[in-house]
Amino acid sequence: MKNREVIIVGGGASGLVAAISAAREGANVTIIEQKDQLGKKILSTGNGRCNLTNEYMDISCFRGDDTSIVQEVLNRFGYSETVNFFEELGVVLKERQGYIYPISDQATTILEVLCMEIERLPVEVLLSQTVNKIVHDKEKFSVHTTEKIICGDAVILATGGKAASVLGSDGSGYTLAKVFGHHLSPVVPALVQLKGKGNFYKQISGARTQARVTLYVNDEYVAEDIGELQLTNYGISGIPVFQISRYAAKALYKNKSVSVEVDFMPTMSDNEFRNFLQVRLDKHGYKQAEDFLLGMFHKKLIGLFLKAAAINNNSIIQDVPLGKLDKLVTVCKHFKIEILGTNDFEQAQVCAGGIYTTEINPQTMESVYEDGLYLTGELLDVDGICGGYNLQWAWATGYIAGKHAAKGN
């Protein structure tokens, strides 16, 4: 029987793994990539170190309108399969707090082993060509690029979403998928910084501190995370902000009111913190207010807290009325920020939203609308939290799609 021709649109994380898996099943595979190089985004992942998966693999680490597909995908290609896949390609892995990286601490390692395997199999690679049209007649798919038309038995759309378009993914995959009847959950930036209302950001910009960040939409609790908060000259950043950002972005998209409460003393309850201040007051009561807080908080934050609690920086702290100290506790533990927006797609690590997962066969990643069309990775309405989950999703969906596209089922 003649080998099937599999065309993969997009040579990013999911496209590369799809190519390897399809070629290993005996298909003749072509990758079409619009950048002049494969896997550009992989090189930027994990601050250049590529956090490729996570020991803790659970459906709760993935978000989307309907994430039931995630379990089916992970059952077929989960954490162990990802680890085995890369170890078989020769990568020695290391773990840090559950996060998995190549031991080299270089994302280039991951991209290079993928490219070596693609060369070995071999897979044909067309660079610097954008796919702008795909037609399916009874016989074949015709994939139109900016240079030529290529025909195949199956097409895998591995175009990514539209986060960080400078690295290749510009949202064109959504248009290609829609032609076959697919629909989109609104696409918004995720794993992204949040812009806050207020004129104090310049003064605290650059400060980093442990904090709990809690998100409210229309004053109702939605999500929280704890970790290193980074203050910027427009708002808040850092992993805890990234983790809740997709909910903020989705709510802002629907014109809902979004706010964040920052707990700058997350290791203590309100009462514990109040008692702590009381004990500290006994020893350091002679100090001016700003010196009293020195040693507890980042210096840039002290002025902000005192101003919000209406305490003069130079007041001797033991002379400050108790009511104002209570206010200080509230300010430090429940600092409210009205969220005006997110940074845009260019600064986002991923997109939330995308092609509805209910339009995909979870066993194969094939479109429910078009036989022979497969969709993978960030193009779909699944976004992971920080920690290697987005790449896990890309590798897993790519692997499954490649295997089934090659077999024609």
Ligand X SMILES: Cc1cc2nc3c(=O)[nH]c(=O)nc-3n(C[C@H](O)[C@H](O)[C@H](O)COP(=O)(O)OP(=O)(O)OC[C@H]3O[C@@H](n4cnc5c(N)ncnc54)[C@H](O)[C@@H]3O)c2cc1C
The contact set with ligand X (CB under 6 A) reads 9-15, 32-35, 40-41, 44-46, 50-51, 130-131, 158-160, 163-164, 168-170, 172-173, 349-350, 377-379, 388-391, 394
Query: What minimum distance in Å lies between the beta carbon of 115 and ligand X?
Result: 13
Output the smallest distance, CB 373 to ligand X, in A.
14
Nearest-approach distance from CB 164 to ligand X, in angstroms:
4
Q: Which of 304, 379 has the CB closer to ligand X?
A: 379
Judged by beta carbon, residue 40 or residue 333, the one nearer ligand X is 40
Which residue's CB is nearer to ligand X, number 11 or number 341? 11
Between 41 and 404, CB nearer to ligand X: 41
Nearest to 238 by CA among 213, 201, 264: 213
- Whole-angstrom Cα distance, residue 388 to residue 15? 17
- Rounded-to-integer distance, Cα 399 and Cα 388, Å: 16
**Angle ∠(388,393,399) on CA atoms, nearest 5:** 125
Compare residues 8 and 317 and give the one whose CB is closer to ligand X: 8
> In whole angstroms, how close is the CB of 118 to ligand X at the nearest point?
14
* Residue closer to ligand X, measured from CB, 328 or 375: 375
Give min distance, CB of 44 to ligand X, in A: 4
In the complex, least distance from residue 282 CB atom to ligand X, rounded to whole angstroms: 47
Q: Which is nearer to ligand X, 372 or 377 (CB)?
A: 377
3-state helix/strand/coil string of the chain: CCCCEEEEECCCHHHHHHHHHHHHCCCEEEEECCCCCCCHHHHHHHHHCCCCEECCCCHHHEECCCCHHHHHHHHHCCHHHHHHHHHHCCCCEEEECCEEEECCCCHHHHHHHHHHHHHHCCCEEECCCCEEEEEECCCCEEEEECCCEEEECEEEECCCCCCCHHHCCCCHHHHHHHCCCCCEEEEEEECCCEEECCCCHHHHCCCEEEEEEEEEECCEEEEEEEEEEEECCCEEECHHHHHHHHHHHHHHHCCCCEEEEEECCCCCCHHHHHHHHHHHHHHHCCCEHHHHHECCECHHHHHHHHHHCCCCCCCEHHHCCHHHHHHHHHHHHCEEEEEEEECCCCCCCEEEEEECHHHEECCCCEECCCCCEEECHHHECCEECCCCHHHHHHHHHHHHHHHHHHHCC
Q: Taking CB positions, which residue lies at the least distance from ligand X?
A: 12
> Which residues have CB under 8 Å from 185's CB, separation 6+?
64, 65, 353, 354, 355, 356, 381
Nearer to ligand X, 239 or 316 (CB): 239
Q: Compare residues 335 and 399 and give the one whose CB is closer to ligand X.
A: 399
Neighbours of 106 (CB within 10 A): 16
CB nearer ligand X, residue 152 or residue 173: 173
**Least distance to ligand X from the beta carbon of 124, Å?**
14
In the complex, minimum distance from the CB of residue 101 to ligand X, in angstroms, rounded to a whole number: 8
The minimum distance between CB 8 and ligand X, in angstroms, equals 9
The least distance separating ligand X from the CB of residue 273, rounded to whole angstroms, comes to 34
